[in-house]
Amino acid sequence: MSHDSTAAPESTARKLSGRRRKEIVAVLLFSGGPIFESSIPLSVFGIDRQDAGVPRYRLLVCAGEDGPLRTTGGLELTAPQGLEAISRAGTVVVPAWRSITSPPPEEALDALRRAHEEGARIVGLCTGAFVLAAAGLLDSRPATTHWMYAPTLAKRYPSVHVDPRELFVDDGDVLTSAGTAAGIDLCLHIVRTDHGNEAAGALARRLVVPPRRSGGQERYLDRSLPEEIGADPLAEVVAWALEHLHEQFDVETLAARAYMSRRTFDRRFRSLTGSAPLQWLITQRVLQAQRLLETSDYSVDEVAGRCGFRSPVALRGHFRRQLGSSPAAYRAAYRARRPQSERPVDSDPGGAGAPRPPAPAEPAALSPEGSVPFQTRRTAAPVPAAAGVPGQRSAP
């Protein structure tokens, strides 16, 4: 799923300064950035497709630091413009940043702050969100980035409301996207916002991509413990939870295992993973259900029990909210895409056929990078109470 703002909040609405032009898009490049992410806004905003009904933008490619800029495969790029050209742009896009742990150049951050103050729309694709966060432009705002980097973004910039479920987040004058292809989704959204559905659809046809993608990043989440979380004492509790997802337990159980009060545990857990523990637990159960639906022939009722949900109704509700379909529909669609030889063998009702896969008594560790923080988007509805987590009365 994506978050499309229909109207920018009053607090973020700014009038574009006189020297800036709405149709001018500046793309800010840095050395070490991946070439694919960098090329997305160049292709979307830099090619004249007026013959296809796509209004033309004026593209400025700007170096965020002294060149030449080295990128994927050892290629060297020379940007035709410097930071001073950003002063003319109504939209500034940061398609990538080379390192999620190193600070961007202060001159580039100053240029982004000035652009924002003068009413420009600021866009961060994938790791470009780290540049926006370093400039302070994501403080107290909802944002996303690649699911693999979301915990680091939340930990390094605790005032940012990181939501790794989204393909992109539009918060009015500041927008962020998840990794790689999600950058295309966000750029199409910008064209749709500026010029309407017909223009965005025409551009999507030229790019041979869907005008809108349903779902979010959940289906792509990895299942290994990240190194930085594995070094924290709380990782032992996280590992225990992942190994016992087939059991019914709640966040109070995890807090007790960590010898913390619920309030302290919530704070420490969010600081570590960027996620509220309740929503993280629900997401891990849904991920486990997704895996069982893909690799076994268990009924939906059995899958619910093996993932710690109190009832199939709870599984269906959380599954639909996170993946946009019912468990049965997800399984059918998944199997339709798989070769016959790779599909699980159905059990023989008479007991003479191939046996069912063994029960996953101790599921393999899943990743806290699959974490989902509490809903923080300004226009979104609250996250419903976790009916599938016993003992839970309301979402934190």
**Most confident option among 118-122, 214-218, 227-231:** 118-122
Encode pLDDT of 48-96 as tens digits: 999 988 899 999 999 999 878 988 888 898 999 999 999 999 999 999 9
Confidence grade of residue 338 (pLDDT, cut at 50, 70, 90): low
Encode pLDDT of 258-311 as tens digits: 999 999 999 888 777 667 889 889 888 988 898 899 889 999 999 999 999 999
- Three-state DSSP class for residue 313: helix
Higher pLDDT, 44 or 150: 44
Confidence grade of residue 19 (pLDDT, cut at 50, 70, 90): confident
Q: What's 22's DSSP letter?
A: E
Distance CA 187, CA 177 (A): 9
To which H or E segment does residue 130 belong? helix 128-134
Confidence grade of residue 229 (pLDDT, cut at 50, 70, 90): low
Q: Is the pLDDT of residue 226 over 70?
A: no
- Three-state DSSP class for residue 170: strand
Distance CA 222, CA 224 (A): 6
- Full strand arrangement of the beta sheet holding 58-63: 58-63, 21-29, 89-94, 121-125, 174-177, 168-170
167 and 390 in contact (C-beta within 8 Å)? no
To which H or E segment does residue 266 belong? helix 262-273
Pairing status of strand 89-94 against strand 21-29 = parallel
Encode pLDDT of 34-49 as tens digits: 889 999 999 999 999 9
Higher pLDDT, 309 or 15: 309
Q: Residue written as tokens 């413009």?
A: 81
Confidence grade of residue 169 (pLDDT, cut at 50, 70, 90): very high
387 and 314 in contact (C-beta within 8 Å)? yes
pLDDT of residue 57: 96
Residues in the chain: 396
Residue type, 353: G
Q: What's 91's DSSP letter?
A: E
Distance CA 337, CA 329 (A): 13
Distance CA 208, CA 33 (A): 25
Distance CA 13, CA 287 (A): 38
pLDDT of residue 108: 97
130 and 160 in contact (C-beta within 8 Å)? no
Longest dimension (CA), the chain: 79
How far CA 316 is from CA of 72, 244, 319, in Å, comes to 42, 20, 5
Residue type, 222: D
pLDDT of residue 18: 81
pLDDT of residue 362: 33
Phi, then psi, of 235 in degrees rounded to 5 = -60, -30
**Comparing C-alpha atoms, which of 213, 67, 65, 55 is closest to residue 131?**
65
Residue type, 9: P
Encode pLDDT of 344-380 as tens digits: 554 433 333 333 444 333 333 333 333 333 233 333 3
Higher pLDDT, 10 or 310: 310
354: left (phi over 0), alpha (psi -120 to 50) or beta: beta
Q: What's 359's DSSP letter?
A: P
How far CA 171 is from CA of 2, 26, 91, in Å, comes to 11, 19, 14
**Most confident option among 3-17, 166-180, 235-249, 331-345:** 166-180
pLDDT of residue 99: 87
Neighbours of 244 (CB within 10 A): 15
199: left (phi over 0), alpha (psi -120 to 50) or beta: alpha
Percent of the chain with pLDDT over 90: 48
pLDDT of residue 270: 79
Q: Is the pLDDT of residue 10 over 80?
A: no
- Three-state DSSP class for residue 69: strand
pLDDT of residue 354: 37
**Most confident option among 31-40, 122-131, 342-351, 386-395:** 122-131
Confidence grade of residue 221 (pLDDT, cut at 50, 70, 90): low
How far CA 356 is from CA of 4, 298, 344, 366, in Å, comes to 43, 8, 9, 23
Beta bridge partners of 81: 62
Neighbours of 211 (CB within 10 A): 18
Computed over every residue of the chain, the mean pLDDT equals 79
